[in-house]
Amino acid sequence: MVVVKIAFILSVGLVGILAHNHQSKELDAKYNWWQHEVFYQIYPRSFQDSNGDGIGDLQGITSRLQYFKDTGITSVWLSPIYDFGYDISNYTNIQPEYGTLEDFDALIAKANELVVKVILDFVPNHSSNKHPWFIKSGTTDDPNNEAYLSHIYTRNQPEDYGLLQHWRQLLYNYTANHEGPPRIMMTKGYASVSKLMEHYEDSNGVQGPQFPFNFDFITELNANSTAADFVFYISRWLIYMPHGHVANWVMGNHDNPRVASRFGEKSVDAMNMLLMTLPGIGITYNGEELGMTDYRDISWTDTVDQPACEAGIDNYKTISRDPERTLIQWNSDLNAGFSSANRTWLPVNPNYKELNLRNQQQARRSHYKIYQSLLKLRQLPFLKNGSFDPEVVNRRVFAFKRELKNEHTLLTIVNVSNRTELVDIADFIDQPNRLSVLVAGVDSQHRVGDRLKAEAIELAPNEGLVIQLNKRNLLNSGSIMAGLVKSDTEDFIDWWQHTVFYQIYPRSFMDSNGDGIGDLKGITSKLRYLADTGITATWLSPIFQSPMVDFGYDISDYKAIQPEYGTMADFEELIDTAFELGIKVVLDFVPNHSSDQHEWFKKSASREPGYEDFYVWHDGIVQKNGTRVPPNNWPSVFYGSAWKWHEGREQYYLHQFTKEQPDLNFRNPKVVQAMDDVLLFWLNKGVAGFRIDAVNHLFEDESLKDEPLSGKTGDSLSYDYTEHIYSRDLPEVLEMIHHWRQLLDDFSAKHPERPTRIMMTEAYAGLTQLADYYEDSNGVRGSHLPFNFHFITDVTGDSDARDYVYNVEKWLIYMPRGHAANWVMGNHDNPRVASRFGPASVDAMNMLLLTLPGVAVTYNGEELGMVDYRELSWEDTVDPPARNVGEELYQEVSRDPVRTPFQWSNETNAGFSTATKTWLPVHPNYLELNLEAQKVANRSHYHVYKDLLELRKSAIMRVGRFNIEPLTRWVFAFKRSYPNFESIITVINVSDKEQLVDLSEFLSHPKKLVVEVSGVDSKYQPGQSLAASALLLAAREGLVCRLV
* Rounded Cα distance, 40 and 285, in Å: 6
Rounded-to-10 torsion of CA 729, 732, 736, 739: 140
Burial class (CB in 10 A: 0-12, 13-18, 19+), 951: buried
- Cβ neighbour number for residue 619 with a 10 Å cutoff: 10
* Rounded Cα distance, 243 and 751, in Å: 53
| DSSP category for residue 80 | P
Distance of CA 1039 to the CA centre of its chain: 26
Is-catalytic flag, 608?
Answer: no
| DSSP category for residue 418 | S
User: Helices (DSSP H) in 402-545: which residue ranges?
Assistant: 506-509, 520-525, 527-533
960 contacts 978 by C-beta, under 8 angstroms: yes
* Rounded Cα distance, 516 and 592, in Å: 29
882 contacts 840 by C-beta, under 8 angstroms: no
Identify residue 426 by its one-letter amino acid code: A
809 contacts 999 by C-beta, under 8 angstroms: no
Q: Is 247 left (phi over 0), alpha (psi -120 to 50) or beta?
A: beta
614 contacts 625 by C-beta, under 8 angstroms: no
Phi, psi of 569 (to 5 degrees): -65, -40
Phi, psi of 201 (to 5 degrees): -165, 135
Catalytic residue among 762, 772, 775, 1037: 762
Phi, psi of 911 (to 5 degrees): 75, 5
Rounded to the nearest 10 degrees, the angle between the axes of helix 367-377 and helix 268-277 is: 10
Identify residue 247 by its one-letter amino acid code: A
Q: Is 934 left (phi over 0), alpha (psi -120 to 50) or beta?
A: alpha
383 contacts 281 by C-beta, under 8 angstroms: no
Q: How many CA atoms lie within 13 A of 980 on its CB side?
A: 4
Q: 301 to each of 54, 310, 313, 347, 348, how far by Cα in Å? A: 16, 13, 9, 11, 14
- Residues 914-942 as b/e (b if ≥16 CB within 10 A, e otherwise) read eeeebbbbbbeebeebbbebbeeeeebbb
Is-catalytic flag, 803?
Answer: no
Please name the residues in contact with 115: beta carbons below 8 A apart, sequence gap of 6 or more: 17, 69, 74
Catalytic residue among 57, 121, 216, 693: 693
| DSSP category for residue 615 | B
222 contacts 263 by C-beta, under 8 angstroms: yes
Report the candidate in 799, 802, 844 with the shortest Cα–Cα distance to residue 941. Answer: 844
Residue count of the chain? 1044
Identify residue 131 by its one-letter amino acid code: H
Phi, psi of 646 (to 5 degrees): -105, 115
- Cβ neighbour number for residue 1029 with a 10 Å cutoff: 13
Please report the beta strands in 184-311, taking only residues with DSSP state E, as ranges in sequence order.
Answer: 186-187, 211-212, 248-250, 281-285
Report the candidate in 251, 268, 260 with the shortest Cα–Cα distance to residue 293. Answer: 260
816 contacts 483 by C-beta, under 8 angstroms: no
Proportion of the chain in helix, strand, coil states, percent, rounded to 5: 30, 20, 50
User: Helices (DSSP H) in 210-298: which residue ranges?
Assistant: 216-219, 227-240, 259-262, 268-277
Burial class (CB in 10 A: 0-12, 13-18, 19+), 667: middle
Catalytic site residues?
693, 762
